[in-house]
Amino acid sequence: MHAAGRAAPGTGLPRPREPLLCAGGDLGLQCRPRRGQAGCLPRARAGLRLGHRRDCGHRREEDQGVVGPAGAGHRGAEPRRLRVQVRPLPARGSPLRPRGGAACAPRVPSQGRGGLRPSGYFQGFLIFLVLTLCLLAGLLHLEMDFLTPLLRGNAKPPVTNIMFLKTHKTASSTVLNVLFRFAETHNLSVALPEGSRFHLGYPWLFLARYVEGVRAAVGGWGALPGGQRPGLCPQVQKIMPKDTFYLSIVRNPVAQLESSFAYYKEYVPAFRAARNLSTFLEAPQTFYGAQPGLLNAYARNNMWFDFGLEPNSVDADGPAVHEQLLELERRFDLVLIADYFDESMVLLRRVLHWAPDDVAYFPLNARSPRAVAHLTPRDQERARRWCALDWRLYEHFNRTFWARVDAELGARRLRAEVAQLRARRAVLSRLCLQDAAPKNKSQITDAQLLPYQSGEANILGYQLRLGLDNGTQRLCQRLATPELQYMARLYSRQFPGKPPKNIQFLKG
């Protein structure tokens, strides 16, 4: 695998929907008496007249006389005689009425020969109906992808050549963990930064020579991870195969700017002098400066910059921006939305033909909720104006994302698969983590799981449960490993003859 990195709530963006398996069968025979067969004639009992009785499609009447012992009404010693007159049934719908009497009650069919009683047939039908409904309800909750290969006759192989453009403060560290785990599980090569570096030339434009081993394996990587700016140039194509899947992610610019301010406050010149983000947004150009350097890229239109575009010289409402957005859409097969991360993972899994556990994840590089600033509506509007290019970028790929969701999944299946993903994450959290929850840095004892801390952000990590077996330990550690430690581990695995990458903050 080669790796490189409907609207959010409150943005006002509009948000842009299965075959049923049927089964059936006869539960029993519909029983009718044979033509010309009485079948259910009652026994004659002494003293009972047989007139006014009918049965099984025949109409019988006892003519004159009484069936019973010799006595009154009999003619001497003549034997007893029963005269039965058979007449055809009237047309369907007309009442059956014997001579001189009321309509007789319908016959109850025999339970012996000829089938079930009506009550038994009805009960059987109800059982069949209930079982069928249960089967259909169960199928609606199944992972339908398991049935798709059977219905289509063949399954598509998983996509393994991927270029991920990492954008900053957009949940890209979690995406990288998903890609790193897939690469490690399937023994794929990852295009990693050369030597001791952890970025592929960022914030400068990407060059193929920034990748370790590129001279020996041009075009042979499975995944190109984040930390590079493609600049819409052919440098990426030099190391990636022609069938590469190009992937990236964007976030609501207001939330992205708030996160950048907290994470890079001591690093970005435009942020240092501002007491807080609200102060910065009151007069952002004053802090930003007339000729900002590369370090100030985090302070304005950071996502636009990460895509290799100029963050300052283009009118956000001009036709040039529209053309650049269309060009990005042509180059990237999928751009995820961080504000709908679960939905993004479901769509990613579908288009890459991956297994459900391939996109299961623990959120990485996430701040404590107490470290998140809550902006007023006025500050949010200021942030949208200040990062107008990022807002155009977000609007555009928000539309393309939900159009792709509708085409690939539909609303109903999306909800079902998101619920499955969240349920799986809950299971993995209980299996792997102490208290099934993230921890602050003082609670994490394993240095390989300790996240990098920056600025005023309080970055959370994970502490694994004790006593896990080897297989579970390996699974859980991969899920919880931060970006820098995972990159260093992959580098040592791919280049065992080279010095390992040193993570400086772990030595302090």
CATH code (residue 387): 3.40.50.300
Query: Could you tell me the two tokens for 226?
Result: 């984040």
Please give the pLDDT value at position 129.
77
Please give the pLDDT value at position 76.
47
* CA atoms within a 13 Å half-sphere pointing along the CA-CB vector of 123: 5
In the predicted model, what is the mean pLDDT of the chain? 79
Domain assignment present for 76: no
Q: Which residues contact 38 (CB under 8 A, 6 or more apart)?
A: 55, 56, 58, 60
| Amino acid at position 263, single letter | Y
Q: How many residues does the chain have?
A: 508
Q: What's the whole-number mean pLDDT along residues 215-219?
A: 48
Query: Could you tell me the two tokens for 341?
Result: 């991360």
Domain assignment present for 299: yes
Tokens 């030339």 appear where?
A: 201
Question: Residue 228 forms beta bridges with which residues?
Answer: none
pLDDT band at residue 124, thresholds of 50, 70 and 90?
A: confident
Is residue 294 predicted with pLDDT exceeding 80?
Answer: yes
Please give the pLDDT value at position 456.
75
Query: Could you tell me the two tokens for 490?
Result: 């992959």
Tell me how far apart the alpha carbons of residues 247 and 153 are, in angstroms, rounded to a whole number: 29
- Going 438 to 357 to 407 to 241, the CA torsion angle's sign is positive
Please give the pLDDT value at position 8.
46
- Number of helical (H) and strand (E) elements in the chain, helices listed first: 16, 6
Please give the pLDDT value at position 339.
98
Stretch among 78-92, 262-276, 392-406 having the lowest mean pLDDT: 78-92
For residue 383, the 8-state DSSP code is: H
Asked if 56 and 37 count as a contact pair (C-beta separation under 8 A), the reply is yes
Which candidate, 46, 44, 49, 50, places its Cα nearest to that of 71?
A: 46
Please give the pLDDT value at position 235.
85
State the DSSP string of 102-148.
PPPPPPPPPSSSS---HHHHHHHHHHHHHHHHHHHHHHHTS-GGGTH
Domain assignment present for 474: no
Stretch among 17-21, 124-128, 129-133, 271-275 having the lowest mean pLDDT: 17-21
Please give the pLDDT value at position 496.
96
CA distances from residue 191 to 180, 361, 487 in whole angstroms, order as listed: 11, 22, 10
Tell me how far apart the alpha carbons of residues 93 and 150 are, in angstroms, rounded to a whole number: 51
Higher per-residue pLDDT: 267 or 73: 267
Is residue 70 predicted with pLDDT exceeding 80?
Answer: no
Asked if 166 and 226 count as a contact pair (C-beta separation under 8 A), the reply is yes
To 10 degrees, the CA torsion angle through 477, 481, 487, 492? Answer: -30
Is residue 32 predicted with pLDDT exceeding 90?
Answer: no
Asked if 238 and 218 count as a contact pair (C-beta separation under 8 A), the reply is yes
Stretch among 15-29, 271-285, 413-427 having the lowest mean pLDDT: 15-29
Tell me how far apart the alpha carbons of residues 116 and 283 are, in angstroms, rounded to a whole number: 87
pLDDT tens per residue across span 314-344: 788 889 999 999 999 999 999 999 999 999 9
CA distances from residue 360 to 96, 412, 445, 459, 504 in whole angstroms, order as listed: 72, 20, 24, 21, 29
Q: What's the whole-number mean pLDDT along residues 448-465?
A: 92
Q: What's the whole-number mean pLDDT along residues 445-471?
A: 93
pLDDT band at residue 106, thresholds of 50, 70 and 90?
A: low
Is residue 458 predicted with pLDDT exceeding 70?
Answer: yes
pLDDT band at residue 52, thresholds of 50, 70 and 90?
A: very low
CA distances from residue 406 to 6, 18, 305, 449 in whole angstroms, order as listed: 11, 14, 29, 37
Is residue 161 predicted with pLDDT exceeding 80?
Answer: yes
Opening angle at CA 161, ends 158 and 164, nearest 5: 110
- Computed on alpha carbons and rounded to an integer, the radius of gyration of the chain in Å comes to 39
Tell me how far apart the alpha carbons of residues 163 and 160 are, in angstroms, rounded to a whole number: 10
CA distances from residue 407 to 127, 350, 464 in whole angstroms, order as listed: 38, 11, 39
Long-range contacts from 368-376, C-beta under 8 angstroms, 24+ separation: 368/440, 368/458, 368/459, 368/460, 370/458, 371/262, 371/456, 371/457, 371/458, 372/258, 372/259, 372/262, 373/258, 373/261, 373/262, 373/276, 373/277, 373/278, 375/254, 375/258, 375/277, 375/278, 376/278
Domain assignment present for 387: yes
Please give the pLDDT value at position 155.
77
Domain assignment present for 167: yes
pLDDT band at residue 16, thresholds of 50, 70 and 90?
A: very low
pLDDT band at residue 118, thresholds of 50, 70 and 90?
A: low
Q: What's the whole-number mean pLDDT along residues 128-156?
A: 58
Domain total of the chain: 1
Q: What's the whole-number mean pLDDT along residues 41-67?
A: 41
User: What pTM, to 2 d.p., does this model score?
Assistant: 0.71
Is residue 303 predicted with pLDDT exceeding 80?
Answer: yes
Please give the pLDDT value at position 222.
54
Please give the pLDDT value at position 80.
52
Tell me how far apart the alpha carbons of residues 312 and 169 are, in angstroms, rounded to a whole number: 20
Highest average pLDDT, of 43-52, 102-111, 241-250, comes from: 241-250
Tell me how far apart the alpha carbons of residues 354 and 162 are, in angstroms, rounded to a whole number: 13
Please give the pLDDT value at position 293.
80
Query: Could you tell me the two tokens for 362?
Result: 């623990």
Helices (H), 45-92: none
Domain assignment present for 334: yes
Domain assignment present for 63: no
Which candidate, 428, 430, 403, places its Cα nearest to that of 414?
A: 403
Please give the pLDDT value at position 113.
47
Please give the pLDDT value at position 75.
45
Query: Could you tell me the two tokens for 508?
Result: 């302090």
- Percent of all residues in the chain with a pLDDT value above 70, rounded to a whole number: 67
Domain assignment present for 170: yes
Higher per-residue pLDDT: 158 or 314: 158
Please give the pLDDT value at position 237.
85
Higher per-residue pLDDT: 127 or 379: 379
Asked if 271 and 292 count as a contact pair (C-beta separation under 8 A), the reply is no
Please give the pLDDT value at position 1.
55
To 10 degrees, the CA torsion angle through 278, 281, 284, 286? Answer: -50
Domain that holds residue 260: 162-359+373-407+484-506
Question: Residue 165 forms beta bridges with which residues?
Answer: 248
Please give the pLDDT value at position 429.
97
Tell me how far apart the alpha carbons of residues 453 and 369 are, in angstroms, rounded to a whole number: 15
- Percent of all residues in the chain with a pLDDT value above 90, rounded to a whole number: 55
Is residue 264 predicted with pLDDT exceeding 80?
Answer: yes
pLDDT band at residue 455, thresholds of 50, 70 and 90?
A: confident
Is residue 22 predicted with pLDDT exceeding 70?
Answer: no
